[in-house]
Amino acid sequence: MSDDITEAISGSGGDVASRDKKTSWFYSDIVKDHFFHPRNFLDRDPEVGEFNAIGKVGSPACGDELKVWLFIDEITERIQKFAWKTFGCGSAIASTSMASVMVTEHGGMTLEEARTLKPQEIMKRLGGLPERKFHCSVLCDKALRDAINDYYRRRGQFDKIEAEAARVIDSVSKVTDRDIEEAVLEGAHTLEMVQKKTKVGIGNPGVLPAVEELIRFYKEKYFG
């Protein structure tokens, strides 16, 4: 069980303290519900033919790894099943659980609709996430888009595969230059702060010089 959520059990209103007790944050009741009762979690190996698309993002080395399995109706291209496993914190679990509900409710999203799902929409349905946990909802939409591309790849519909519009900076966490730009705009002006938001470079330290260069660029661009 994730340390940050288990501490929330005894806290009032979801108040959680960091290990060093220097910072604290809140989890909504919805987040805690999806952590303690995750929807569509796959607690076994998938059966042959059970799903027709797989997506993956992250790595255990950087603290968060997420794998999703989709079953997509080949006629309507609506997502009928969204199963998942994650190696990550309580926020990652809750975010993925909520994403699986959003994608499959009301008959399921079409692939086109699912591709437009934003981390902010997942956070809104959860009642918000602490700022330092924003990257957890980012993992969900990245893994979902990766699975959609996998579906089209398996069907030989290569013209429908959409590459990430932004340039991938860290191939392990799949953090892009756009993710770093958004982090700087949200107030992360140091490498440590950007890493807290995105996990960039934690499992792939060779990219850190490029990350630092981008931070300097976006700071000058937006803040002078």
Active-site residue numbers?
62, 136
Closest residue by Cα to residue 201 from 219, 186, 179: 179
Contact between 55 and 79 under an 8 Å Cβ cutoff? The reply is no
3-state secondary structure of 85: strand
Backbone dihedral region for residue 64 (phi beyond 0: left; psi -120 to 50: alpha; all else: beta): beta
59 sits in which H/E element: strand 53-59
Report residue 173 CA to chain centroid gap: 10
Instruction: Show the tokens assigned to 186.
Output: 């949200």
